[in-house]
Amino acid sequence: MIPVLPPRRRRIQSLVLPLAGAAALAAGLGYLARAWPAPELFVVPADHEELEVMAMTGDLQVAGIDTEHCLAMVDDWVRRPNWELTLSTGVSGCLGEDHRDRLTVDAAGDAVWSGGGLPARPLHLSPTQLAELHEVATLSCERPADDSVGYASSFVDVHWGSREAPARRVYESPAHAQLDAFIDDAVVHYRHRRLAERAAFRATVTVPPYAVPGIDRPMKVSFDGRGALEVKLRGRAVKAEALDVEALVDAIDWVELGGPDALPVPHRLMRALDQATFHAGLQD
């Protein structure tokens, strides 16, 4: 016969091991608390400057960022031998965000610009242009006190390398103005170079129906390197207002990148065609 403990003694015995384990754990934690005290809070020494924190991961809201010099690390970044920086512009408002130009540039001055509804286009920046990035580190990211806030606000996102997530978003401020001017200067130089290279350019393309608002049939569009624009539709040939520099360069690049067979009509050229067909009474 196998001896069996009474029910009450079995219950007591079943509690012995858990209680002994809990007592051992408590003793161990007490020993660790005495041997390894809690760390003291770090305090910046009085003879040191305040620490500046800058986002490197894509988190736009980082507590403690000094908005007076929120791009302090840009100066150090562009002093490295193989740096790459991406700047993207846009407008933020109550209806969302509208992203516009995007410029990626490296230490050699080689850059890629995207904007105007067209794929990325290569360009090159001079050492003088690149030097302007150093000044951004010294400029304030704070909006001027007398600048009223409307329903929309322009911004420039700063990306380390070609990362999709921005490290810092800079709203309208001295630093924003400098970055915006840097992008504009790079794009203006690109457009002037393209016009010089394509002075003798001439093209005629067929724009498909509905590519331009109010036009439900194919339309012949002709333009040259000086911006002269002609539209043929419904048996009429209409000489439209000359294309401005921005629309002209976009139109040339559009044709050389494949034209209507490969890409939608660029935004600036579409506006010019919309105005031309509207004033000529050609829209439905």
Task: Tell me, yes or no, if the pTM score tops 0.75.
Answer: no
Instruction: Note whether residue 16 is domain-resident.
Output: no
Mean pLDDT for all residues in the chain = 82
Between 284 and 259, the higher pLDDT residue: 259
- What is residue 57's predicted lDDT score, i.e. its pLDDT? 44
Q: What is the largest CA-CA distance in the chain?
A: 115
| DSSP track, 64-99 | T--GGGTTHHHHHHTTSTT-EEEEEEEEEETTEEEE
Residue with structure tokens 């704070």?
A: 142
- What is residue 137's predicted lDDT score, i.e. its pLDDT? 86
Expressed as residue numbers, the domain containing 258 is 202-279
Q: Does pLDDT of 184 surpass 90?
A: yes
Same domain, yes or no, for 168 and 211?
no
Instruction: Note whether residue 53 is domain-resident.
Output: no
Q: Does pLDDT of 14 surpass 70?
A: no
Number of domains in the chain: 2
Angle between helices 174-197 and 245-256 (to 10 degrees): 60
Instruction: Note whether residue 9 is domain-resident.
Output: no
Instruction: Note whether residue 60 is domain-resident.
Output: no
Of 173, 197, 221, the residue at which a domain comes to its end is 197
34-84, pLDDT tens digit by residue? Answer: 666 665 655 555 555 554 555 444 434 443 344 567 888 888 888 888 899
Between 65 and 257, the higher pLDDT residue: 257
Instruction: Note whether residue 41 is domain-resident.
Output: no
Same domain, yes or no, for 133 and 242?
no
Instruction: Note whether residue 256 is domain-resident.
Output: yes
Count CB atoms within 10 A of the CB of residue 196: 9
Of 197, 218, 236, the residue at which a domain comes to its end is 197
Between CA 34 and CA 31 the distance in angstroms is 5
- What is residue 94's predicted lDDT score, i.e. its pLDDT? 79
